Structure 1
């Protein structure tokens, strides 16, 4: 067995045996509460990360009544992912909702940057249950973070203004925005692109002005970010599945009353199946909206991308 097949088999087998408004914020309760909890996300309304956070807030606030109120601040109002994670660690922000950047805190989160590893949402849920929460969440706590659940972000596809992407060779020389996770950068370097790590809030203008040629995101983020207005091609690669990680400040979480702590954990877990269900619905709806908006779609050659991914597995292993 080659090193690549051994690495991939070990990863997949170990991951899951058998399956693997006030303008600008969402707050269901406007009245002053005893405990005010701030939740920051870079995502815009309509995006899956924001919608998940808003549903979590709705359910939590309904449970807590006047005792506590959780407000979601969207569209990077409280900073980009890196800035918000720092605030969470310091205890100046209650919650943030990172995705790929989590591997900069705990490298093992880079497993979600392994191309074509996650088969489907059921598999993703199994990884979260069997690996992330019991094995990786404690590593985050050692860094000052409290991971409360693993929610949906989605399968990622490539958009750009240069050409349709059918094989990795088509990425040659394409300036492609990526998140700041090291493994995503390495992956696209291996495919021949020129990856450019950049905060999500900066991507639209960078595409509009030609600073970058393209980017990669789930359908819902492409649409909520209005990238269809400045991108011509959408190539369905589904190269990576990325969750979102609702993450509390451990320093602040430990100061909450016990019933608030329990309500947070219970509600975060209850929100998980809702995020998967809604993401499945949104995928079909938004894909059609992007087509209707004029984007040119093509289905990429999966086999060629899988073949080109072998070196990243070997390095990660």
Structure 2
């Protein structure tokens, strides 16, 4: 009996060693989870990064992309990064709940264009990296969610007063909620994956997102109006945990860093083209499109800037430094 048990143990050990070798020979599996739907900028960006990384990694590893919240919603993905269950995520507005430093990107009309944002990442990237690392994360590169616009089923939004009483979905970030409250809307934080059904059933009247997200999530099927407010530009961050980042071999880390940074230009170019192409497509779905009075929104945004400057340590300095970079200096 003892001999039989001993031989069985050897067999199991050999099987385990074989499986381990198989896994090692296959290389690292790097799971990339995001909330974007098929056809979204998030999906296109993540797949381009995976193409670059997998081409360069060869048999050392493979980036596998899982969209449509398959691996979890934004908050869940942030937790899974810390647990090592997911290697990459692509958070956007939710980062303002990780650190108030990221809340600066919630300030309306702060980022003027993509060249402005590129200068911010070049000159101030370390500020945001430090904020992320202080919470146990690491940013490989700054990508994009985009310039956000409002859709709803009540009325066209031309000026802030038109938002009065409208039940508007927002991401789960305090500053976006404060902003829309100050405009007179009734903001409702909600996970992106839940928004279509909430719009269809009338739980909410509207939502705000970049055109690429509006289109890929099929919101024009359940929304009457698209108002081109462009009220906030939200970056997206290709994110991992600091612990995971430091555990990767140097050559793999260098490859992933390089692909993440080089993908930024692809992301910006793709996003700009989508902004050009999608308004007409959304309009063709029967959604009425109107231009908003941006100066009226800018004027109504002054209190949110004042509150951020007062309540966030170094908030005014952050705002000032980003505004200076709008001038190309």
Does the TM-score normalized on the shorter chain lie above 0.5? yes
Task: Summarize deviations over 1:230-255 as a string: whole Å, max 9, x none.
Answer: 00000000000001111012222222
> Any conservation in 1 of the 2:211–2:279 contact (CA below 8 Å)?
yes
**Residue 153 (structure 1) aligns with:** 145
The ranges of structure 1 where at least 4 consecutive aligned residues each deviate by more than 6 angstroms after the TM superposition are none
State the distance in 1 between where 2:68 and 2:189 align. Answer: 18
User: Counterparts of 1:123 and 1:272 in 2: how far apart (Å)?
Assistant: 14
Structure 2: runs of 5 or more not aligned: 1-24, 310-329
SS in 2 for 1:313: helix
- 8 A contact 2:167–2:187 mirrored in 1: yes
Q: Quick check: which one's helix share is greater?
A: 2
Measured against aligned partners, the alpha-carbon deviations of 1:198-249 in whole angstroms (never above 9, x if no partner) come to 0000000000000000000011100000000000000000000001111012
- How many pairs are equivalent? 285
1:242 maps to which residue?
A: 234
Matching residue of 1:214: 206
Q: Residue 186 of structure 2 corresponds to which residue in structure 1?
A: 194
Q: 1:48 aligns with which of 28, 35, 41?
A: 41
Is 1:256 aligned to 2:248, yes or no?
Answer: yes
Whether contact under 8 Å (2:151, 2:207) holds in the other structure is yes
Which of 91, 94, 97 is equivalent to 1:101? 94
**1:93–1:249 Cα contact (<8 Å) kept:** no
Structure 1 position 114 matched with structure 2 position 107 = yes
Name the residue aligned to 1:134.
Answer: 126
Residue-by-residue CA offset, 1:128-156 (whole Å, 9 max, x unaligned): 2212x211112211211111000021100
SS of equivalent residue, structure 1 residue 254: helix
What is the match of residue 14 of structure 1?
none
- CA-to-partner distance for each residue in 1:296-316, whole Å, 9 max, x for gaps? 000011111011101000001
How many angstroms does 1:95 deviate by? 1.0
Structure 2 counterparts to residues 216-231 of structure 1, below 5 A:
216-231=208-223
Q: Unmatched 5+ residue regions in structure 1?
A: 1-31
Q: Which residue of 2 aligns with 1:35?
A: 28
Return the offset for 1:45.
Answer: 1.8
Residue number in structure 2 paired with 1:20:
none
RMSD after superposition? 0.9
Structure showing greater Rg: 2
For residues 72-124 of structure 1, the C-alpha deviation after alignment (integer angstroms, 9 at most, x for no partner) is 10000011000100111222211111000101111110111100111101001
Matched residue of 2:247: which SS? coil
- Cα distance in 1, alignment partners of residues 113 and 213 from structure 2: 18
Deviation of the 1:274 alpha carbon:
0.7
TM-score by length of 1: 0.88
Offset, 1:71: 0.5
